[in-house]
Chains A and B, each alone.
Chain A
Amino acid sequence: MRKIVLASALALAAAAMPGAMPGALAASTAAHPEAIDWSFNGVFGTFDRNQLKRGFQVYKEVCASCHGLHLIAYRNLKDPGGPEFTEAEAKALAAEVEIPILDEAGQPATRKGTLADRFPYQSQPDQKATLKSAYGLMPPDLSLIAKAREGGADYIHALLTGYDHEVPEGVTVPEGGNYNPYFPGGIIAMPKPMSDDQVEYAEAGVPRTVEQYSRDVSAFLMWAAEPKMEARKRIGFGAILFLGILTGLLFLSYRRVWRNVDH
């Protein structure tokens, strides 16, 4: 009996420590983002390919004018577990961009992008300078943003749809700032980035609303931050299933080895 009490107490103590997660009490003035029922939630969750494709379109047409995505290469667009564009589509998307190079004479020139190229937005120094002077800071690169903010995709969605709240009393919005209750501190430099009907989805039946755009681009950024998620969950399922069986076998072996010993 004591053994059981002891074992469970030790297990509890061990469980209590990782339970002490950072952020549990984090002093935050931000509103709590709504939890979205993402297709990639849960043990078997996967990305919705069409949603990622739409999200890429939103990123390309809206976000990319200010935000880089430097960890993603065009080849990733065709990788399994991602938007899964065909190779030809990914090549065509890559060819749309001009990659700065030096020509044979050593003069700045450009060439067409290839699958091996990473997203070039925000890479030009003059573009950086423009953004810096416009906003007073560099808009963050979005490659890891879904893992670099509390709330992840929920937070991005809440932030993008959170611009229409009335400014509460006692809050003064400085010039160049915008009120958004989901942003820590409530004042964000980024103005409302999207409006309804701004992005023309080719896919029929998908609403062209800020709500839909926000969902799609949040899902896309989640994939950008964690492109191996589907492989991880798939391999994990097999690994844990196998480990469960192995543990059962090893437990029976252990009991069998000890069957003649009082202990």
Chain B
Amino acid sequence: MSAQQHDDATRRDFLYVFSGTAAAAGVAVTAWPFIDQMNPSAATQALATTEVDLAPIQPGQQITVMWQGKPTWVRRRTPEEVEQVRAIPNAKLKDPQADQERVQKAEWLVVIGICTHLGCIPNRDNVGQPGGYLCACHGSVYDASGRILSGPAPLNLPVPPYKFVSDTLISIG
């Protein structure tokens, strides 16, 4: 094989490899719009944060707002309820977490109201725990901080990201 033939073969192979790589890269980049279109759309993302006006909520009262399609509870706890949940020792909990870590202001509890067992929505119920929640599906009991006390649910009710925009307005998400 002469040097020229050898060069020729190398150049040819390089050309094919380079063309093939460029084509593959083009196909890969083109694939992105087809994948990304399944991500939440701009309209959906615009609803990703929910603002809640706290002013009308009375002590002891709880409202449910939809946040990212999930029922989210905003509850104004009475001082007694706060005292009650904070009296529960961590050792008694399946998923130990202090109430202080779960709220930004003692008075306001914000949790996602979906049972961590199989996704039912628990009810406010005094049967399982005074001021707590009972999931009717499989009997999980949560306290007034949304922590799991008993039943098949493994974890506490999740706290969504939220911030106080002002004393009477929170922004969830």
Contact = CB atoms under 8 A, between A and B. Distances in A.
Interface of A: 73, 75, 79, 114-116, 242-243, 245-246, 249-250, 252-253, 256
A246 B29 CA distance: 14
B19 A253 contact: yes
Given A75-B46, A116-B46, A249 B26 contact: no
Interface of B: 12, 15-16, 18-19, 22-23, 26, 42-43, 46-47, 51
Nearest to B51: A114
Nearest to B44: A116
Contacts of A245: 22
A107 to B, nearest CB: 15
Interface centre among B15, B18, B19 (most CB of A within 10 A): B19
A116 B47 contact: yes
Contacts of A75: 42, 46
Contact of B23 (A114, A115, A246, A252): A246
A242 B26 contact: yes
Contact of A256 (B12, B23, B26, B42): B12
Nearest to A117: B46
Nearest to B16: A253
A137 B123 CA distance: 52
A253 B19 CA distance: 7
Contacts of B26: 242-243, 246
Given A246-B22, A246-B26, A115 B46 contact: yes
A246 B12 CA distance: 16
A256 B19 CA distance: 12
Nearest to B21: A249
Contact of B43 (A73, A114, A250, A252): A73
A126 B81 CA distance: 49
Contacts of B23: 246, 250
Contacts of A250: 19, 23
A242 B43 CA distance: 31
A239 to B, nearest CB: 9
Contacts of B15: 249, 252-253, 256
A36 B43 CA distance: 33
Closest 10 pairs (CB-CB, A-B): A116-B46, A249-B19, A253-B19, A75-B46, A246-B22, A116-B47, A256-B12, A250-B19, A253-B15, A253-B16
Contacts of A249: 15, 18-19, 22
Contact of B46 (A73, A242, A243): A73
A253 B11 CA distance: 11
A115 B43 CA distance: 10
Contacts of A116: 43, 46-47
Contacts of A115: 46
